[in-house]
Structure 1
Amino acid sequence: MKVLKFGGSSVATPERIRAIADILKRYHAKGEKFTVVFSAFGGVTDSLIEMGKLAAKGDENYRDKFAEFSRRHFDAAEELFDQEHLDIVNPGLEKNHQVLKNLLHGIFLVREASSRTMDYVLSFGERNSAFIIANFLQQEGIPAGYLDARKVIKTDKTFGAARVDMDLTEKAIQEHYQDNPDIQVVTGFIAADRGGLTTTLGRGGSDYTASLIASGLNAEAIEIWTDVDGVLTADPRKVNKAFTIPNMTYAEAMEMSHFGAKVIYPPTLMPALKKNIPLTIKNTFNPDYAGTLISDVPDPGGHAVKGISSINEVALLTLSGSGLFGVPGIAGRLFSSLAQGGINVILITQGSSEHAISFAIQPKHALKAKKRVESAFEYEMRMGVVNPVRVEEDLSVIAIIGENMRYRPGISGRLFQALGKNGINAIAIAQGSSELNVSVVINRNNESKALNALHETFFLSDTKELHIFMVGVGLIGSTLIKQIMDQADFLRETRSLEIRIVGMINTKKMVFDESGIDLKNWKSALTESETKGDMKGFIAKMKELNLTNSIFVDNTADESIATYYEEILDSSISISTPNKIATSSAYLQYQRLKTIAQKRGVQFLYETNVGAGLPVISTLNDLIISGDQITKIEGVLSGSLSFIFNSYRAGTSFSSIVKEAQQRGYTEPDPRVDLNGLDVRRKLIILARESGYPIEAKEVRIENILPPACQQAPTVEAFFAELEKADDYFDEMRAQAEAEGKVLRMIAKLDNGHASIGLEAVDSSHPFYGLSGSDNMIVFTTERYKERPLVVRGPGAGAEVTAAGVFAEIIKIGNLLY
């Protein structure tokens, strides 16, 4: 014998009831013996509760709700039955509805609905659905009989969540099924006390009904048919990559249900566990899918962690003080005071110092629990050896669950590493000696982020998903988007890396998509967005989304955006940027940003601040970390200035070369930023600070090369006009250098902490002599590289190399997150 149970979503419409009939026909055709338990039609129980509440308040609107209830069941019958069977079903429904109508009227008159009365009200949902379906199965050729569970499931008088008398119930079930060989269609959720008063079995009551019947019949299997493909690794509403667990033990299922898994409820498992009856969770809408098998057979080859579950809202109370240390009976007094108040404890944790005991409960009981515990320890508090109970709210409990965890070292380490790298703080931790679960209390606003981080760690560890929030989609930004799009398949296949751009902003618009903006159509998505570009709003939305592995990418040179870096890093979001403003501003702020990044365990990467895509900063850091000492740094640090002076030959004008550099995107919009050495100064400051020198901008000596008229020009256009007039001035400098066999180079130097920038003429013996195009070159003279300095050379400007440098940092951050 099998016991099948179908939930409210499975019987919500006549169409779905027909689908269930098709499933049962297949069982019947195969000669299988089974009985079926049904919940009320989807939404009906809530409707009955509302009717009762309205009637109890004297609100006549309960009559409208009753009319809807009645009409829904008559309409379902009208659609399901032929006239012959309709003539049988409708009188039964009319009888039920008349009783319910009279009952609600009585509640309305006395303005009161006790738990006992409400149990009777709620019984009409299951009674109607099972009655309709039993008759429909008969019409479809299945020999079905209607069984009101009140005949066989016997309970005490704890209305709302009655306790089952197992001996009476099993005896009644066995007697009824011996006398009724037809397929029994049973009402879920409802029962009766010894005197016949209607009771209900509480949350998950219909599943419990199925398990009780299976236990009474010593059934071979229980099947719970619902609207999902089984027990999932996590809540799919919060973790979109959650998948079905093929099999699990009763203990694992019990833990999952305790920590919020909605598919199965603890009472359901107890009768099945006692009789060792395997239980399968199946999907009514996908009947051929295997679902999840719950039994006593462990899966030693499966995942160490079977599932990740959470309790969305808890309060954490802490009793602390020196008076707890070494005193027997403290825990007993504490938890007795809670038990006497009917307060259920979700989680308990106590340090070995015995200085404090923390426990999690439902927030609605927090104040009551605080008062009860403080009353129990009133004497100790008056003596000053126990502190007032501390209450922390807006918390959640996350639990990883699995019997195999005890055999796999490092599980807890991976859990805390995943949380830590996503900036999620563990407020309290609990682990049982069986190692079946590890529970962590965290801030409630981090629940979804934590679930996704842990799910990725334990189930998708081969797949890394990064969430990018991109500011600036101009030349560098659009090039970076193209590079990410072009490399997507390669990264997915060879590095198991998924990069999703989930937020994007320019000066006019911003757009967000948690699943990832379609990079083939990103321009239209941004253009057609109805949300105006607002940097403050963009940061707020990024923080609100609170996605795992978030990276903020700033492709601009905007000073105002750099002011948000501290807030971003402090929100545990990594940053990659070619924007040099933050790292070259006040030294104290530079230091502060690096400290916050380190404190929050996130990355603040700015390799492209110096040398675009060249490994300049990373090389410098590697030298320092390995114990080398930097004595001098010399560099042609500007790709634009490198291009300008490398291209400046006899027969070309200086102004035309500068114009060409601007058109190629090598220079800043105003080339004077480059020619005045301001951009180079920022880069030199960064190199100096990375070398350990707390240099400020005013300490860098710059040799100006532009005549005053060029400096003072009011616009870029006016600047170029003045630059043309100065062509002879620059031509004279070039000619003099050539006459000496030299070339002009704008060189930045850091020598024993002294920083300077100037235009120099160098001969063929100098490393900078042979530079070409927009190449940068940085020469490191160190204790190890004293005789032959270390040289880094390559393209130092251009959207392609800069974007590639940012892209490399994104991948680096992704690798560091795992």
Structure 2
Amino acid sequence: MHCTPLSELRQNPSDLPWVVQKYGGTSVGKFLQVIASDIVPSYLETNRVTIVCSARSGETKEKGTTNQLLRAAEEALTTGSNKHLEIVKEITADHLKAARSVIKNPTILEKLEAQIEKDCLKLRSFLQAAEIIDEISPRSRDIIAGIGELLSCSIVTAILQDNGIDSQLVVLNNIIDREFTTLDQEFYDYLSQQLGDVVRQCGDKIPVLTGFFGNVPGSLLTTIGRGYTDLCAALVSVGLDAQELQIWKEVDGVFTADPRKVSDARLLPNITPEEAAELTYYGSEVIHPFTMEQVIRAEIPIRIKNVENPAGSGTIIFPEDQKLVLEGAVSTAATANDSRQKLPTAVTIKDNICVLNVHSNRKNVSHGFLAKIFATLDEYGVVVDLISTSEVHVSMALGSDMVQANLDKAIVDLEQLGTVDVLRDMAILSLVGKQMKNTVGTAGKMFTALASAGVNIEIISQGASEINISCVVDKANALSAMKAIHKGLLSAEALQEAVL
């Protein structure tokens, strides 16, 4: 199929505002044809489009390419294991199958197949080299994980071409050509400028950027984590001074609760960056906090969109005091906040939590007691999500990503300070809202709703920011707790009552 130059599809393309579209793994895994034939073309007459992609995922992230790649890295260091080679075969077959299912032009398909096989062969060789030297450094692990974005973006580039849209694969592995020792604002400013420059060099072609952007201080996975593709998209947006950053998912936006669990959850037209950050940390996957910080600094709005409902307006993330009037937006921040100023924003659940209780043996004064607890947790890399303290007792909620062996070692040391017990199969329930600090009685209504539902509370915590009230409950009661809070504080009936 002939690829029509974008300059023929629109007038004065260089005068059009940029839109950066970031597609998550499951979107790329299941909705390639929608992206290429529906979503991207719908923006070409009014915008210049740049695309950033995550690695492909299947039905869940657990079965996604990045997880497979990281597992392959582990297996390469396992004596006598050939599973890393089997994983490479599976990844190769999966991407070839995906390519053959969507690409119709034989010339484009042949080129794509050759590229996929070449990249997977390099991956195999890299893992075999790691097996020989019996070592994978943090930066090597980054490179292995980054193969996922390379394969994903190759397919997206090809399907755009197959649909007559001239596109260009942009691999960002070597975009950082200066030495940095810290991940500070100077580094982000430099990287956003580099990304903006490389996109502009594509001319009229649609750039498809790998979310993996190479060698960063301290390694990409260690310092930024798995959300680095979101950060990449944010920095591209800043470098281009984009009209908006779009994060495409499989939901219509951010809801007052998980719509899969709470049937009357409402779509939020907009939320603040602070609210989005709290919701992300406590269980609702919104967007990587680093992403929001960089884009909001540049006064660029973030819009959460649904690949299954491209016409929907989604949810916009921007500050309350930022008077942005956005085309297609429901309202400005000020008017939107007027309608819900007496209500929290959303309730969310973070599962697979355990609670660690430490009761002092009274041989330690309070400041020494706390200092020794946190020194011990730091030594073994145990991260605390929530904490409640008294002079002689500390209760802590620990996240699901905790390494059990490290916790076991920490418990042995903590037992020198007093009695230690662990409660498992718990959940953190968080009520989030920027306006809660200005509303009397929110906490009371929350705990009344939980009591009415017969839910016992293990820990209660309110952050200094006053936009989050969290508590720890038994995992078995988490869903009923969320429904009770939503009904009492966030439902359409609660909204109507608050307005009246």
TM-score using structure 1 length: 0.50
SS in 1 for 2:423: strand
SS in 1 for 2:339: coil
* Alpha-carbon distance change, 372 to 324 in structure 1, aligned in 2, over 3 angstroms: same
1:17 aligns with 2:22: no
Alignment of 1:169-180 (within 5 A): 169-180=191-202
Per the alignment, residue 219 of structure 1 pairs with 242
| Paired letter, 2:39 | I
1:4 aligns with 2:28: no
SS in 2 for 1:12: helix
Query: Is the Cα contact below 8 Å between 2:276 and 2:286 reproduced in 1?
Result: no
Residue from 331, 354, 367 that aligns with 2:408: 367
Shift of 1:171: 3.5
| Paired letter, 1:360 | A
* Alpha-carbon distance change, 51 to 450 in structure 1, aligned in 2, over 3 angstroms: same
Query: Is the Cα contact below 8 Å between 2:142 and 2:219 reproduced in 1?
Result: no
Structure with larger Rg = 1
Residue from 128, 143, 147 that aligns with 1:120: 143
Per the alignment, residue 407 of structure 1 pairs with 438
SS in 1 for 2:213: strand
Q: Matches of 1:443 and 1:155 in 2, distance apart?
A: 49
Query: Is the Cα contact below 8 Å between 2:138 and 2:219 reproduced in 1?
Result: no
What do the CA deviations read for 1:237-267 (whole angstroms, capped 9, x no partner)? 4334333222100000011011011232323
Residue from 423, 440, 455 that aligns with 1:424: 455
1:187 aligns with 2:210: yes
Shift of 1:70: 1.8
Residue from 48, 51, 57 that aligns with 2:69: 48
* Alpha-carbon distance change, 46 to 337 in structure 1, aligned in 2, over 3 angstroms: closer
Q: Matches of 2:244 and 2:319 in 1, distance apart?
A: 13
1:34 aligns with 2:49: yes
Query: Is the Cα contact below 8 Å between 1:310 and 1:396 reproduced in 2?
Result: yes
Residue from 66, 76, 79 that aligns with 2:98: 76
Per the alignment, residue 814 of structure 1 pairs with none
SS in 2 for 1:5: strand
Query: Is the Cα contact below 8 Å between 1:156 and 1:163 reproduced in 2?
Result: no
TM-score using structure 2 length: 0.79
| Paired letter, 1:356 | H
Per the alignment, residue 3 of structure 2 pairs with none
1:238 aligns with 2:261: yes
SS in 2 for 1:305: coil
Shift of 1:169: 1.5
Query: Is the Cα contact below 8 Å between 1:7 and 1:38 reproduced in 2?
Result: yes
Per the alignment, residue 6 of structure 2 pairs with none
Per the alignment, residue 356 of structure 1 pairs with 393
Shift of 1:283: 0.5
Query: Is the Cα contact below 8 Å between 1:316 and 1:395 reproduced in 2?
Result: yes
Per the alignment, residue 4 of structure 2 pairs with none
| Paired letter, 2:266 | F
1:283 aligns with 2:324: no
Instruction: Give the aligned length.
Output: 445
Q: Matches of 1:263 and 1:101 in 2, distance apart?
A: 34
Shift of 1:341: 3.3
Query: Is the Cα contact below 8 Å between 2:238 and 2:295 reproduced in 1?
Result: yes
Q: Matches of 2:370 and 2:384 in 1, distance apart?
A: 13
Per the alignment, residue 452 of structure 1 pairs with 483
Query: Is the Cα contact below 8 Å between 1:155 and 1:199 reproduced in 2?
Result: no
Query: Is the Cα contact below 8 Å between 2:103 and 2:162 reproduced in 1?
Result: no
Q: Matches of 2:363 and 2:190 in 1, distance apart?
A: 46
Alignment of 1:109-148 (within 5 A): 109=132, 113-148=136-171
SS in 2 for 1:230: coil
Query: Is the Cα contact below 8 Å between 2:458 and 2:472 reproduced in 1?
Result: yes
| Paired letter, 1:224 | I
Shift of 1:10: 1.2
1:263 aligns with 2:278: no
Query: Is the Cα contact below 8 Å between 2:382 and 2:407 reproduced in 1?
Result: no
* Alpha-carbon distance change, 333 to 168 in structure 1, aligned in 2, over 3 angstroms: farther
Alignment of 1:421-570 (within 5 A): 421-460=452-491, 462=493
Per the alignment, residue 310 of structure 1 pairs with 349
Query: Is the Cα contact below 8 Å between 1:315 and 1:366 reproduced in 2?
Result: no
Q: Matches of 2:157 and 2:484 in 1, distance apart?
A: 46
Shift of 1:423: 1.4
| Paired letter, 2:477 | N
Q: Matches of 2:359 and 2:384 in 1, distance apart?
A: 17
Shift of 1:131: 1.7
Q: Matches of 2:485 and 2:440 in 1, distance apart?
A: 16
What do the CA deviations read for 1:151-209 (whole angstroms, capped 9, x no partner)? 33689999xxx999324413422332343334321112x22226999868422222222
Query: Is the Cα contact below 8 Å between 1:155 and 1:192 reproduced in 2?
Result: no
Which runs of no fewer than 5 residues in structure 2 stay unpaired? 1-17, 58-63, 321-332, 495-500
Q: Matches of 1:326 and 1:107 in 2, distance apart?
A: 50
Per the alignment, residue 330 of structure 2 pairs with none
Per the alignment, residue 398 of structure 1 pairs with 429
What do the CA deviations read for 1:109-130 (whole angstroms, capped 9, x no partner)? 5566554433322222210111
Query: Is the Cα contact below 8 Å between 2:429 and 2:471 reproduced in 1?
Result: yes
Shift of 1:307: 0.9
1:341 aligns with 2:357: no
Per the alignment, residue 61 of structure 2 pairs with none
Shift of 1:24: 0.6
Q: Matches of 2:29 and 2:133 in 1, distance apart?
A: 33
Q: Matches of 1:319 and 1:40 in 2, distance apart?
A: 41
Q: Matches of 2:432 and 2:178 in 1, distance apart?
A: 33
Q: Matches of 1:163 and 1:434 in 2, distance apart?
A: 23
Per the alignment, residue 328 of structure 2 pairs with none
Query: Is the Cα contact below 8 Å between 1:155 and 1:163 reproduced in 2?
Result: no
Residue from 230, 236, 239 that aligns with 1:207: 230
* Alpha-carbon distance change, 429 to 138 in structure 1, aligned in 2, over 3 angstroms: same
Shift of 1:63: 3.9
Query: Is the Cα contact below 8 Å between 2:361 and 2:419 reproduced in 1?
Result: no
Query: Is the Cα contact below 8 Å between 2:174 and 2:215 reproduced in 1?
Result: no
